[in-house]
Structure 1
Amino acid sequence: MSSGRGMDRFDGASRVLLKNAGNARTANDRRRNRRRKNRKKKKKKYYKFLKPYNQDHKPPTKKDLVYLEDSPDFCVRNRKLGIRGTSGRECNKTSIGVDGCDLMCCGREFHTRVVEVQERCSCTFQWCCEVKCKTCKYIKTIHICS
C-alpha cells in the first residue's frame, strides 16, 4: 500500500458485524431458479450483509475497507497467539520507518548499549573451492526496546 489513497482507505477502515439476514428463499424458488439456465446470474452484494460495529457510523459501501475483528497487539507478548512482543528487540534510533525505535518499541523506552562485535571480513576465494577470511572486531552502539 504505497499509494496515499490506499493508505487513507487502510487508516479509515471500519469494524463491521455480519447481519443475520437468513435465507428468505423457499424450496420452490430454488427449483424455479434451476430451470432458468439462460438467465444472467445476479451478483450478490456481500457488503449489504455488513453493519457497522459502532452504531454511530454509516453502513459500509462496496468501496469501503472493513474488518471483522481487531488485530492483536504485536507490541505485547501473547504466548497463546505466538506473539513475542517487541521487548528486547534491536531498533534503529535514527530511522523513522518500522525499524525505528519509536515504532518498534511501541512508544516505550529503549536502552543503548555499546558492544564489541566480531565478524568475518577481508574474505578471499582460494582456487579451488575455499574461502579464507580474517576475523575483524569493532565497537557498535545498539538500541534495544525495553
Structure 2
Amino acid sequence: TDAGPHRVPRRDRYRFQLRPHNPDHKTPGAKDLVYLESSPGFCEKNPRLGIPGTHGRACNDTSIGVDGCDLMCCGRGYRTETMLVVERCN
C-alpha cells in the first residue's frame, strides 16, 4: 500500500487554483511569476517602505509605459509644459 501523500502531476498541480485578479488577464502559466500579496502603492510617499511617491515628477504624456503620465500621475491629472531645446549639431 502507498502510505505517502497523493502526488498531482507537476503540470496540473496549480491549474485550477490560480486565477487572475482581473478576468481580462490570462491565467498564469508555468513560467509566470505569481505574487501572493499585493505590492505596496507607488503613488503616495511611504518613507517606511522607501517609496518616494510620484508627486512632482516629470512624465511623458505620449508614453504608454511606466514613464507615461496616465500611469505615473495615478489619476491625479498633470500639467503640460512645452520646452524649446537648442542643441549644437556637428
Who is 2:56 aligned against? Answer: 88
Say which structure, 1 or 2, has more relative contact order (CA 8 Å, 6+ apart): 1
From 52, 61, 74, the equivalent of 2:42 is 74
Who is 1:99 aligned against? Answer: 67
Q: Percent identity?
A: 54
Q: Secondary structure at the match of 2:79?
A: strand
Residue 114 (structure 1) shift: 4.8
Larger of the two Rg values belongs to structure: 1
Q: Which runs of 5+ in 2 are unaligned?
A: 1-9, 19-28
Q: CA RMSD in A?
A: 3.5
Which of the two has greater strand per residue?
1
Which digits, 9 at most, give the CA deviation of each residue in 1:70-103, with x for residues without a partner? 1010111111001011111101112222211111
Q: Secondary structure at the match of 1:74?
A: coil
Q: Secondary structure at the match of 1:107?
A: coil
- CA distance in 2 between counterparts of 1:69 and 1:90 reads 29
TM (norm. structure 2) is 0.53
TM (norm. structure 1) is 0.35
- CA distance in 1 between counterparts of 2:45 and 2:75 reads 15
Which of the two has greater helix per residue?
1
Residue 63 (structure 1) shift: 3.1
- Residues 1-146 of structure 1: matches in 2 within 5 Å? 58-60=16-18, 63=30, 66-114=34-82, 121-122=87-88
